Copies of this chain bind each other. A is one copy, B any other.
Amino acid sequence: MTTHAASRTPQQSRSRATRRRLLEAAVECLAELGWNGSTVAVVAERAGVTRGAAQHHFPTREDLFTAAVEHVTAERLAAVRVDTGELPPAGPERTAAVVELIVRLYTGPLFRAALHLWVAAATEEPLRTRIVALENHVGRESHRAAVEFLGADEGIPGVRETVQATMDMARGLGLANLLTDDGPRRAGVVREWARILDAVLARADDRS
């Protein structure tokens, strides 16, 4: 390793680590404190970074939180992609496992953080434009992943809409879990939904 490389690389890697700590702290703050309580100063403190350093990475509050939800979503999707290596082969058990994976994404702290950001964006204009773009991107990525994991053939009428309905239901379950633990009720709904979705996927060829 040359002196030149040694003097640059640790600094770049420190900068990347700082950035990542800020993004993760931002999502934690949003999930716990909501939009009002999540200032850049609060996030910087949680990340163990000066406010100046935080602003060097993210000039505005909107930059920080939009990037945070985007970053953590990409990480979760990548983690889910690894988990799917362990899924059962095609069939009712795989469908049930994938539906559970999707619902878990929508009922965890990331969804809670995103929900605070989405709702704040409804009444705050600089944020709104950013979040609409993010929503399109995240929505497309999540849908594509669901289709892949389910092995769904979207060329068959009704399959695309039923996969979308699954994401919509998961989003609704996430919202129902905001103030109270909705776990016991949710388990029954998810089990029944998985059964129905699997029947749609399995029967799909007979319908076209």
Contact = CB atoms under 8 A, between A and B. Distances in A.
Contact of A168 (B112, B128, B189): B189
A179 B121 contact: yes
Contacts of A188: 160-161, 164
A162 B131 contact: no
B171 A132 contact: no
Contacts of A128: 179
A28 to B, nearest CB: 13
Nearest to A134: B179
Interface in A112-157: 112, 115-116, 118-123, 128, 131-132, 135
Contacts of A173: 168, 172
Interface of A: 32-34, 36-37, 112, 115-116, 118-123, 128, 131-132, 135, 158, 160-162, 164-165, 167-176, 178-180, 185, 188-189, 191-193, 195-196, 200
A115 B122 CA distance: 11
Secondary structure at chain A's binding surface: helix, strand, loop or mixed?
helix
Nearest to A157: B192
Question: How many copies of this chain?
Answer: 2
A119 B111 CA distance: 12
Contact of A189 (B120, B161, B196): B161
Given A34-B122, A169-B172, A172-B172, A195 B164 contact: no
Nearest to A112: B122
Contact of A115 (B112, B119, B161): B119
A119 B178 contact: yes
A140 to B, nearest CB: 12
Nearest to A115: B119
Nearest to A121: B179
B179 A118 contact: yes
A164 B185 contact: yes
Contacts of A123: 32-34, 36-37
Nearest to A185: B164
Contacts of A158: 192, 195
